[in-house]
Chain A
Amino acid sequence: MANNLEIKDLEKIARKVRYNIVKMVGLAKSGHPGGSLSATDIIVALYFKLMNYDPKNPYKKDRDRFVLSKGHAAPALYAVLAELGLIEEEELWKLRRLEGKLQGHPSMDTPGVEICTGSLGQGFSASVGMALGCRLDKLNNYVYVLLGDGECQEGIVWEAAMAAAHYKLDNLIAFIDRNKLQIDGCTEDVMSLGDLKAKFEAFGWDVFEIDGHNFEEIINTVEKAKSLKNGKPKMIIAHTIKGKGVSFMENNVSFHGKAPNEEQLKQALEELKYE
């Protein structure tokens, strides 16, 4: 959207988004902070720099679309949508509560959410359909989708990967938030993902590997992916740190699906303080 933003501005937004993620999960006493924090920079770069998206007109037909296939990272998406003015900030503090509107995983009732996700692999599959639909309508836009690495253990991910290549969807740009951890432990201990790059290449995708916390790399890689109009869908494997930004959450698997306690919340918010 606001394409004149500089990297330091994006970093500032990401810091606030992280602060709000931790605060909303802490207040909810429930949720998934680890994977929300690892995905933050990618989602911020997309909405604030890369996507053709007008928050004042969020259902414009030719908008770029973002699908959070790893739906448990909903707090990151909600914090970004709040920053864009699509969700009232007050709602963030009622996350996962009966009196609030924001569901534990994204639902289409929330403004700005393109499809409900949370059951892993399904958002990726839907994004293939979205890209097909946009192409049918001859829209000159992109569908972005973010998967978790553990999510790639779902069979539907590979069904969708096959279909995206078969239908030559170069208007589909996917990310894998490669933080190397899933609920039960390291991805390679739970169920080896092996060489994800080689796997997606073998499925007919152009694959890039980047540091998922480096805005310059995220932006340059997406621009490069967009310039390659070669009929191949694009996969960006983003190496990230689970729990990024909170010292005691970083690379700590126990914060996959657990909220910080009161003391931890205080410390985390202190670490993420922004002016």
Chain B
Amino acid sequence: MVKLTGIYKGMRKGYGETLVELGKKYDNVVVLDADLSGSTQTAMFAKEFPDRFFNAGVAEQNMIGMAAGLATTGKIVFASSFAMFASGRAWEIIRNLVAYPKLNVKIVATHAGITVGEDGASHQTCEDIAIMRAIPNMVVIAPTDYYHTKNVIRAVSEYKGPVYVRMPRRDTEIIYESEEEASFEIGKGKVLVDGDDLTIIATGEEVPEALKAGEILKENGISAEIVEMATIKPIDEDIIKKSKDFVVTVEDHNIIGGLGGAVAEVIASNGLNKKLLRIGINDVFGRSGKADELLKHYGLDGESIAKRIMEEMKK
């Protein structure tokens, strides 16, 4: 059971806490950061295990290079920075030094998407899912809330190989009542709410917004099935095949190449007779503002999502 709890908590916090837990459990967990450990919350691990934490300074490319080298010596490596730099600045090093040799490096990027807010377009990564998804061997995940993040980080620590995890800066609404409820399995989507008229597939911080949209739709007599798609690659094809004939994807990411792109590929490749509406950032750069203002501005809050769906259904 999921519900909008009205409690907001950072996925980053869940990440930091779980790193400490993993550090206690495994001697070979090491963590790297690029001068943002306070923001990414890897500082929690650094404080607890200073000998297994390596700050690369403001040098994301070398952070990933060092991560790869450490992985060749049998370490489970977590490397963190803001999504812009972790994915964009270091992309080619990730491709050639991490993904190609399938090394055990987890790139956990925070501050993804438009909701970075005030820092503006230079820091708002709405392309990371697309560019990470295009790399062979790479798993791409966006957790849903604080509790879910903990289970995602535990799962990726058990998985042998490269993983990219993205999460937002802001505290997001908790939708699971406990850690136990927030189950996660790599590659598996999850139906959170049953419905008859359409399927909303959402990822990351947009899952709570999709739930809000679902409630508004319900008040308007529309029954929406809501799917959490935390793993964008490999994507859960079965759950897409079983979706309603009208599918809406929702993500804080460019509609090109992200969740919307991935779902479109599954629908088209399988010849599924489904209409698809992709809600996300419409191939534009963002701008400065408060996170909730920006969500509204770009049509990514629950209310805007519901409105857009109802307009589309009238067509």
Which A residues have a C-beta under 8 Å from some C-beta of B?
107-108, 114-116, 118-119, 122, 124-134, 136-137, 155-156, 159-160, 162-163, 166-167
Contacts and interface: CB of A to CB of B under 8 A. Distances in A.
**Nearest 10 A/B pairs, CB to CB:** A129-B69, A125-B65, A133-B73, A159-B62, A129-B66, A126-B69, A159-B59, A130-B69, A108-B101, A129-B70
B51 interface: yes
Q: Which of B54, B56, B57, B72 has the most CB of A within 10 A?
A: B72
B74 interface: yes
B65 A156 contact: yes
B93 to A, nearest CB: 6
A116 B61 contact: no
A136 B101 contact: no
Given A136-B51, A156-B65, A159-B61, A130 B93 contact: no
Main secondary structure of the interface of A (DSSP, over half): helix
B57 A132 contact: no
Interface of B: 30, 51-52, 54, 56-57, 59, 61-62, 64-75, 92-93, 96-97, 100-101
A83 B97 CA distance: 27
Contacts of B64: 125
Nearest to B59: A159
B100 A122 contact: no
A125 B72 contact: no
Given A136-B30, A162-B57, A163-B66, A126 B97 contact: yes
B81 to A, nearest CB: 13
B210 to A, nearest CB: 39
Contacts of A137: 73-74
B62 A115 contact: no
B76 to A, nearest CB: 11
Contacts of A107: 100-101
6 contacts: A108-B101, A125-B97, A132-B70, A137-B73, A156-B62, A163-B56
B61 A155 contact: yes
Contact of A125 (B75, B93, B101): B93
Given A122-B97, A156-B62, A130 B54 contact: no
A125 B52 contact: no
Contact of B97 (A115, A133, A159, A163): A115
A240 to B, nearest CB: 25
A122 B101 contact: no
Given A119-B96, A125-B69, A129-B66, 13 more contacts: A116-B100, A122-B65, A125-B65, A129-B65, A129-B67, A130-B70, A136-B51, A137-B73, A156-B62, A159-B56, A159-B57, A163-B62, A163-B66
B72 A128 contact: no
Contacts of A160: 62, 65-66
Contacts of B66: 125-126, 128-129, 132, 160, 163
